[in-house]
Structure 1
Amino acid sequence: MYFEIVTKLSQLEHVCQQARKMPVVMLDTEFVRIRTLYPKLGLIQIFDGKTLSLIDPIELYDLSPLWELLADESVVKVLHACSEDLEVFHHYAGMMPIPMVDTQIMAAFLGHNLSMGFASLVNQYLKVSLDKGESRTHWTERPLSLKQLEYAAADVYYLLPLYNLLAERVKQAGWEEAVQQECALLMIKRSKTPDLDNAYLNIKNAWKLKPKQLAVLQKLASWRFKEAHRRDLALNFVVKELHLWKMASLNIRSLEKMADEGFDRFEIERHGKRLLLLVEEVERLPKTCHPEVVERLVDLPNYKQTIKKIKEQTNAVAETLGVVPEFIGSKKQIHQLLKWAWIHDRNPENIPDLLSGWRNAFIGDKMLALLGDI
């Protein structure tokens, strides 16, 4: 397995020019994210069927030829389990690889588990055992060892024959268009900009709070995300989620009370006064600006019965199609459907997954009929 390490712009330009002549290229990234909000890119792997390149973003400050390749719609970009890779591209390039095919999604249409790993698929389809011992490499450190580089290169080298095998089986099964739809849906979800006004809804136990307390939590959660973005620091390394909730629920109004409630000393020293000022801002808000109490699906009438009926339908359809039930409708997608029907007044501009795309053709009418009976 021969590969070249790309550290110069002229090399990158040549690699990407050659790749853009191919109909399909294999793509992968290696990154680390320990304390940061965004992933730190350490390596980008490309294999166009002839040339395997390991692009070093630590040495290369200008990756524009690569971003141009990602935007070239005449070249299909193939990745595996690419959700986090898409986040990398969205953060660094402000774009997604279009068009994109994820072999994990292809495998799901062929009956494999949704979390089927690359090494397992390679072993099953290609009879090759991959050494995953370097998966915990700190990819932004230099130099990288030959073993680490070979590990990274293998991820795209074996991706090509795997993709070819899966593509043929997907075609035979009649799932080509559905795969395209599912990959496009994934890219849409991964490219969404965080809604800062609703960041508080992601805080555990927000549903327990009253409107004024929610207003405090809303203000603090929005500020925390902005601070995390400014410093590229993971949210809980700015202020712990639990401590935001305590600020709102326990009516904390002093640094001493923060200390009593277990706030980290560095949280208090760096952000304590700012948090208290934000709470004071909420105190001046009229009640009309307070969020409504959070509605939980589990508290609504018929929740358990409806979930049971939906799962019966998704299980039956999954068995007919030869896929795992979670691929037809995950817990998150089922909740999305119920929120659309019960909380969001069936907004036609925000159709849930179970009523759109390829899923709608197999289960949409069943879901609408079920919801109509409730």
Structure 2
Amino acid sequence: MPSRDVGASRSSNEQRRKAVNEHYVDDPHDLHRAVQSWRECRVIGLDTEFIRTRTFYPIPALYQVATPDATYLVDPLPIDQWDDFADLLRDPNATIVMHACSEDLEVFARHLQIQPAGLFDTQVAEGFLGPDFSLSYAALVERYGGTTLAKQATRSDWLARPLSQGQLHYAREDVEHLLMLHESLVAGLRETGRLEWFEEENQRRTRANGVAPDQYYRSLKKAWRFSPRQLARLQGICSWREQRARTRDLPRQRVVRDEHLLDLAVEPRSDKEAVFGALPEPIAKRFSRDLARVLEAADALPETDLPPPLERPLNQRESELVKRLRAIARERAEQLGFAAELLSRRRDVEACLRYFIEHRQLHEVFRSWRYPLVGARFEELLETEVGSR
């Protein structure tokens, strides 16, 4: 197990430097100059603050950047030129250190139209060094740097201007320890021989995976019961709702709720009366014509163009097999002293079983760095329990 106090003294020195070298950037020319200085750094820390309460897309409210010498708070509201910043994030030679960055990826995709190349997620890295996968940024800073962070601004209105002193302090703290964490975590990964494992897993987890509008229907839990024709209706009205939500930048449930779409998809008719029968009257009045048109198009599809049935829930025997596979993975993770989530996440193990049933081979997730740890044992058990069926 790597030492937990790496970087503590360095963290305090960095804080003293950054207390002097703080920059608030709200001009495109200043951002251009800042990005040029960031390019000279091998590694930078990055965090975002955004709002997503009444919109489909996240609204960026602040970018925080940490270098070895300073912290930068970049105000996106008055800036309209982002090419330099986007190019930096796309540069595979730049290491961008973030913590639990899955939601931030949506900000980058929407605001900058990019997928960052050189992300280093400190939460994923810590998962290879200790038993807790979902440690917060504050917990990691306290563990490796001995500093306790205040979290009083987490629910602030980040779009309000001017930002308060409390918000500025929180924003700065949320990024200024990332370089210390990166150095400490990389040292631990090298010490344990797990750096390559992390790099492979980190690349998989920091890849943006958006849902295509015509595929959202597959995520609705009750849809597996639907016939192919009902699924075609559900796919059509979900895709319509998805397009409208994105065009109007509204949360999906503010357009039409999932449960109402499910009810509408099984209606025996496709006319406006069917829409009024399944949806609340105010919603039906607004959208009955559009939805009836979508339902009629779905009902007109030939049988050969209908979507296939969705995956059913696992049966009792399959669920027991998932439990056995996860027990193998948890035991191995405990032996290695790292987070069981990396080996036994239910979603991954269930996908592995379903894939094996259909293809008679392991899912790619367990043909990766996981194979010598649990993949071979998974394969043996699945061959015994599934291969002969």
Normalised TM-score (structure 2): 0.89
| Structure 2 unaligned blocks of 5 or more | 1-18
Q: Give the C-alpha shift of residue 279 in structure 1.
A: 0.8
Residue identity opposite 2:224 in structure 1: W
Deviations 1:31-70 (A, max 9, x none): 0111222111000000111121101110101111111211
**What CA distance in whole angstroms lies between the structure 2 residues aligned with 1:162 and 1:187?**
18
Equivalent residue, structure 1, for 2:298: 282
Equivalent residue, structure 2, for 1:208: 225
1:234 correspondence with 2:251: yes
**What CA distance in whole angstroms lies between the structure 2 residues aligned with 1:122 and 1:206?**
43
The 4+ residue runs of structure 1 with deviation greater than 6 A are none
1:342 correspondence with 2:357: yes
Normalised TM-score (structure 1): 0.92
1:366 correspondence with 2:366: no
Residue identity opposite 1:338 in structure 2: L
**What CA distance in whole angstroms lies between the structure 2 residues aligned with 1:333 and 1:244?**
28
| C-alpha distance 239-205 of structure 1, shift in aligned 2 (>3 A) | same
| Structure 1 unaligned blocks of 5 or more | none
- The alignment partner of 2:162 has SS state of coil
Residue identity opposite 1:279 in structure 2: L
Equivalent residue, structure 1, for 2:192: 173
| C-alpha distance 171-293 of structure 1, shift in aligned 2 (>3 A) | same
- The alignment partner of 1:42 has SS state of strand
Equivalent residue, structure 2, for 1:250: 267
- The alignment partner of 1:4 has SS state of strand
Higher mean Cα deviation, 19-28 or 121-130?
A: 121-130
- The alignment partner of 2:221 has SS state of coil
C-alpha contact 2:275 2:291 (8 A) present in aligned 1: no
Deviations 1:179-212 (A, max 9, x none): 2111110133x2x342333321111200121221
Q: Give the C-alpha shift of residue 252 in structure 1.
A: 5.3
Residue identity opposite 1:29 in structure 2: T
| C-alpha distance 266-169 of structure 1, shift in aligned 2 (>3 A) | same
Where does 1:87-166 land on structure 2 (aligned, <5 Å)?
Answer: 87-166=106-185
C-alpha contact 1:33 1:40 (8 A) present in aligned 2: yes
Equivalent residue, structure 2, for 1:52: 71
Equivalent residue, structure 1, for 2:3: none
**What CA distance in whole angstroms lies between the structure 2 residues aligned with 1:230 and 1:197?**
15
**What CA distance in whole angstroms lies between the structure 2 residues aligned with 1:296 and 1:329?**
21
Deviations 1:16-43 (A, max 9, x none): 1111111110011100111222111000
**What CA distance in whole angstroms lies between the structure 2 residues aligned with 1:36 and 1:24?**
33
Percent sequence identity over matched residues? 31
C-alpha contact 1:329 1:354 (8 A) present in aligned 2: no
**What CA distance in whole angstroms lies between the structure 1 residues aligned with 2:116 and 2:302?**
46
Aligned length: 366
| C-alpha distance 286-347 of structure 1, shift in aligned 2 (>3 A) | farther
Equivalent residue, structure 2, for 1:225: 242
Pick the aligned partner of 2:338 from 294, 303, 323.
323
Residue identity opposite 1:313 in structure 2: I
